[in-house]
Amino acid sequence: MKNSKLYKGSLITIILKLLSEHEKMYGYEITQKVKTITKGALKITEGALYPALHKLEADGLLSVEIVEVNNRLRKYYKLTEQGNKETVSKLNELENYIKTMQTLISPKPSWQ
Amino acid sequence: MKNSKLYKGSLITIILKLLSEHEKMYGYEITQKVKTITKGALKITEGALYPALHKLEADGLLSVEIVEVNNRLRKYYKLTEQGNKETVSKLNELENYIKTMQTLISPKPSWQ
DNA sequence: TTTACATACCTATGTATTTTAGGTATTGTT
DNA sequence: AACAATACCTAAAATACATAGGTATGTAAA
């Protein structure tokens, strides 16, 4: 990811959410999808993405299918059953985080 | 901070925002304030807070005033002029982050 | 045609932030 | 007397990510 340090900690959530919407995706596709959805506001770096995908796979949240397309290999990832559960959990965490931060930054009149 | 990894990267923003509302605060007070405002959802650890305060001071965003209260020392921090500007900037960053993440996690119907 | 960019994967090292796990010292509570 | 709360601190480890490389194929431009 590029730019704001706030994105630290949200990569896993982003990957899981995208996979919950797309059945199967490969790494490069994820980087491009995030770029277009966020209109360039967020760029996932490959140095962060690939190790994250490998960890999610090792943790049993993703399964892999290797496919050759145009003489190039693609590694398609999809959510496992456990991955689906973790996605729900991570999205709840994110919503809680956003609510908490909005509580903290919502303007407080000086008499409070 | 305890719990969710999403809070990584938001400590500085939280400190600056609190100081923009309270004129002056000391470290321990900040930990307690965050705990009460968030109803225990977020606990800032001292091992993260004090180095962060020292860095903000070194960067010229905070000024310090040491006061003795009840035979104990308190280090009151307040925003400098530069600190005020940085607060605005950090809050904008946070709002952008939240908007971007909401774009990413907003439910997408399957035909999109 | 060769240069450059896009596609598609990868990893090692460095850096920054935070957690963990301590430490000191005083005051208030049980 | 023992413990929690107040108030500060730091060193070492863990974590996540950025940086900066690497390989290889396909495609478009010069």
Q: Tell me the pLDDT tens digit for each residue of A4-58.
A: 999 999 999 999 999 999 999 999 999 999 999 999 999 999 999 999 999 999 9
Q: Please report the pLDDT score of residue B99 as a whole number.
A: 95
Q: Please report the pLDDT score of residue B108 as a whole number.
A: 64
Domain spans of chain A, in order of start: 5-102
Interface membership of A73 toward B (CB under 8 Å): no
A12 C-beta less than 7 Å away from strand D: yes
What's the rounded Cα separation, in Å, for the pair A57 and A76?
11
Q: Please report the pLDDT score of residue B106 as a whole number.
A: 84
Report the SS3 class of residue B2: coil
Interface membership of A91 toward B (CB under 8 Å): yes
Interchain pair B13, A105: CB under 8 A: yes
- Strand pairing category for B25-26 and A72-79: unpaired
A104: nearest CB among B8, B14, B105? B14
CA distances from B82 to A75, A109, B18, B60, B91 (A): 48, 22, 16, 7, 14
Q: Name which of A19, A1, A64 is nearest B105 in CA terms.
A: A19
Average pLDDT, stretch B79-83? 97
Cα nearest neighbour of A36 on chain B: B104
A40 C-beta less than 7 Å away from strand D: no
Interface membership of B36 toward A (CB under 8 Å): no
Secondary-structure class of domain B5-90 per CATH: mainly alpha
Q: Which residue has the tokens 């090792």?
A: A58
Would you give the DSSP letter of residue B61?
A: S
How long is the CA A1 to C1' C6 vector, in angstroms?
A: 20
CATH number listed for the domain at residues A5-102: 1.10.10.10
Percent of chain B residues past pLDDT 70, beyond the cut: 93
